Amino acid sequence: MPETRPVRVVYADDNAPYRTQLLRTLVAEPGIDVVAVVVDGHAALEAIEQHRPDVALVDLSTPGVSGLDIAEHVASQDPPLPTRVLLLAALPVPSTRRVLQAVGLRGVVDRASSRGDICAALTAAAV
């Protein structure tokens, strides 16, 4: 069986305590390679452009540029970026037209999700 490479992830979140806890989980996960951690939307866009990760895990309310705007930006690039965006929300987020129209958006997970569920969502988003 061929070996699969880890999912390359940019993680953007301004909530330091949550970011630290989740980052510990992500770096310990053998199937995930965190290539950049940033705290605002502008830095997230730069990290996505620089690293071209498989998935960007972005807080919906990231300062500067929102997670949804990041998803729309990534989806609108020509040539397309290889990155899929997975939004991280403080509260469960209902589906909205704008969310559904963000072509590069691969889903929304809430902070109450288990660390295992978030890792599984990252792996699924990369496909």
pLDDT tens for 43-91 read 999 999 999 999 999 998 899 999 988 988 998 888 888 899 998 987 6
- Determine, yes or no, domain membership for 119: no
119: pLDDT confidence band, cut at 50, 70 and 90? Answer: very high
Average of per-residue pLDDT across 7-12: 98
Give me 19's structure tokens. 């970011």
Q: Check pLDDT > 70 for residue 102.
A: no
- Residue in 111, 71, 117, 84 with CA at minimum distance from that of residue 7: 84
How many whole angstroms separate alpha carbon 60 and alpha carbon 3? 33
Domain count, the chain: 1
- Determine, yes or no, domain membership for 74: yes
Average of per-residue pLDDT across 2-11: 87
How many CA atoms lie less than 13 Å away from 63 in the CB half-sphere?
5
- pTM equals 0.89
- Determine, yes or no, domain membership for 91: yes
- CA dist 87 → 25, 91, 114, 126 (Å): 17, 11, 15, 13
- Determine, yes or no, domain membership for 120: no
